[in-house]
């Protein structure tokens, strides 16, 4: 088995594990939280009060109204960034509260 086939098999195994795991919600939330803190500027992370995932949507409670408005305007870019950061993603939308 060459490296590409092995990597594909490993990816398939991880995907299957995440799909069937009883801890899927917690794993996805932890991956999103890590990706959020890794990709967003410190000022955004400091003003993120709560982050959770529900029905393939990321819900973010932002404490600053102007920042929340700015993030809403860049929602597509943020979703693309999260998809790029996470190896496998189920995310369909980002909702700012």
Tens of pLDDT, residues 44-56: 999 999 998 888 8
- pLDDT for the residue numbered 12: 79
Angle at 83 between CA 60 and CA 30, to 5 degrees: 55
Ramachandran sector of residue 58 (left: φ over 0; alpha: ψ -120 to 50; beta: rest)? beta
Distance CA 71, CA 44 (A): 9
The pLDDT, as a whole number, for residue 63 is 95
How confident is the model at residue 59, as a pLDDT? 94
Model-level pTM?
A: 0.73
For the chain, the average pLDDT equals 85
- Proportion of the chain above pLDDT 90, given as a percent: 45
């Amino acid at each position: 088995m060459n490296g590409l086939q092995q990597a594909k098999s490993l990816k398939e195994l991880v995907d299957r594990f995440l799909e069937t795991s009883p801890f899927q919600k917690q794993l996805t939330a932890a991956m999103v939280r890590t990706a959020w803190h890794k990709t967003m500027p410190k000022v955004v992370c400091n003003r993120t009060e709560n982050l959770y995932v529900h029905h393939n949507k990321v819900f973010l409670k932002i404490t600053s109204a102007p920042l929340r408005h700015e993030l809403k305007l860049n929602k597509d870019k943020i979703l693309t960034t999260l998809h790029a950061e996470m190896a496998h993603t189920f995310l369909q939308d980002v909702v700012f509260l």
